[in-house]
Amino acid sequence: MIEGTIPAALDRAAERFAGREALVDGEVRLTYAELARRVRQTARFFEGHERVAICSPNTWHWVVAGLGALYAGATLIPVNTRFTARETVDILERAKVSALAITGTFLGTDRLADLGSARPGTVVRIPVEGPEEPVDGVTEWEALSGLDSDFVSPAQPGDVSDILFTSGTTGRSKGAMSSHRQALSVAEAWAECGGLSEEDRYLVINPFFHSFGYKAGILAVVLRGATLVPQRTFDVRETLRLIESERITVLPGAPTIYQVLLEAPERGNHDLSSLRLAVTGAATVPVTLVERMRTDLDIDTVLTAYGLTEAVVATMSRPEDDIELVANFSGRATAGFEVKLGEHDEVLLRGPNVMLGYLDDPDATAKAVDADGWLHTGDVGVLNERGYLKIVDRIKDMYVCGGFNVYPAEVEQVLSRLAGVAEAAVVGVPDERLGEVGKAFIRLTPEASLSTEDVLAHCEGRLANYKTPRFVDFVAELPRNLSGKVLKRVLREENG
Query: Which residue type, as a one-letter code, is found at position 337?
Result: F
Question: Radius of gyration (Cα) for the chain, nearest Å?
Answer: 23
The CATH number that applies at residue 33 is 3.40.50.980
- Same domain? 36 vs 65: yes
Residue 282: which pLDDT band, with cuts at 50, 70 and 90?
Answer: low
Q: Work out the number of other CB atoms within 10 angstroms of the CB of residue 139.
A: 15
* Residue 339 lies inside a defined structural domain of this protein: yes
pLDDT of residue 461: 84
pLDDT of residue 327: 84
Q: Residue 152's Cα: distance from chain center in Å?
A: 31
- Which segment of 54-58, 130-134, 279-283 scores lowest on mean pLDDT? 279-283
- Same domain? 34 vs 12: yes
- Same domain? 81 vs 49: yes
- Same domain? 340 vs 456: no
- Same domain? 346 vs 403: no
Residue 169: which pLDDT band, with cuts at 50, 70 and 90?
Answer: very low
Distance CA 351, CA 372 (A): 11
* Residue 129 lies inside a defined structural domain of this protein: yes
* Residue 215 lies inside a defined structural domain of this protein: no
For the stretch 188-231, pLDDT in tens is: 999 999 999 999 999 999 999 999 999 999 999 999 999 999 99
* Residue 55 lies inside a defined structural domain of this protein: yes
Distance CA 126, CA 203 (A): 21
- Same domain? 345 vs 256: yes
Query: Which residue type, as a one-letter code, is found at position 440?
Result: A
* Residue 270 lies inside a defined structural domain of this protein: yes
User: What is 234-294 written as a DSSP string?
Assistant: --HHHHHHHHHHTT--B----HHHHHHHHH-TTGGGS--TT--EEEE--S---HHHHHHHH
Average pLDDT over residues 147-164: 97
pLDDT of residue 249: 98
Nearest Cα residue to 153 out of 71, 95, 86, 234? 71
For the stretch 407-449, pLDDT in tens is: 888 899 899 999 999 999 999 998 887 888 999 999 999 888 9
Query: Which residue type, as a one-letter code, is found at position 378?
Result: G
Distances (CA, A) of 216 to 92, 196, 209: 24, 11, 12
> Among 164, 187, 206, which residue terminates a domain?
164
Q: Is the pLDDT of residue 168 over 50?
A: no
- Same domain? 425 vs 389: no
Distance CA 25, CA 35 (A): 13
Q: Is the pLDDT of residue 483 over 90?
A: no
For the stretch 308-363, pLDDT in tens is: 999 999 999 999 998 889 888 999 999 999 999 999 899 999 999 999 999 999 99
The CATH number that applies at residue 262 is 3.40.50.12780
Distance CA 457, CA 333 (A): 39
* Residue 96 lies inside a defined structural domain of this protein: yes
Q: Count Cα neighbours of 76 within 13 Å in the Cβ-side half-sphere.
A: 31
User: What is 281-298 written as a DSSP string?
Assistant: --S---HHHHHHHHHTS-
φ and ψ at residue 252, rounded to 5 degrees: -80, 165
> Among 116, 145, 164, which residue terminates a domain?
164
Is the separation of the CB atoms in 12 and 222 below 8 Å? no
- Same domain? 405 vs 323: no
Distance CA 183, CA 214 (A): 10
Is the separation of the CB atoms in 339 and 326 below 8 Å? no
> Among 164, 194, 217, which residue terminates a domain?
164
State percent of the chain over pLDDT 70. 97
- Same domain? 444 vs 381: no
* Residue 467 lies inside a defined structural domain of this protein: yes
Is the separation of the CB atoms in 278 and 262 below 8 Å? no
Average pLDDT over residues 383-404: 87
The CATH number that applies at residue 414 is 3.30.300.30
Sequence-distant contacts of 108-117: CB under 8 A, at least 24 apart: 111/55, 111/81, 111/85, 112/138, 114/84, 114/85, 114/88, 115/85, 115/88, 115/89, 116/85
Please tell me the total count of domains within the chain. 3
DSSP class of residue 454 equals: H
Is the separation of the CB atoms in 31 and 22 below 8 Å? yes
Is the separation of the CB atoms in 128 and 109 below 8 Å? no
The H or E element spanning position 125 is strand 122-126
- Same domain? 69 vs 158: yes
Q: Is the pLDDT of residue 103 over 90?
A: yes
Mean pLDDT of the chain: 92
Query: Where in the sequence is the domain holding 141, given as residue range(s)?
Result: 6-164
What are the strands of the beta sheet with 21-25, ordered from one edge? 28-31, 21-25, 227-230, 201-204
Euclidean distance between the first and the last CA atom of the chain, given in angstroms as a whole number: 56
- Same domain? 402 vs 352: no
* Residue 195 lies inside a defined structural domain of this protein: no
Distance CA 384, CA 169 (A): 30
- Same domain? 45 vs 135: yes
Nearest Cα residue to 4 out of 124, 161, 151? 161
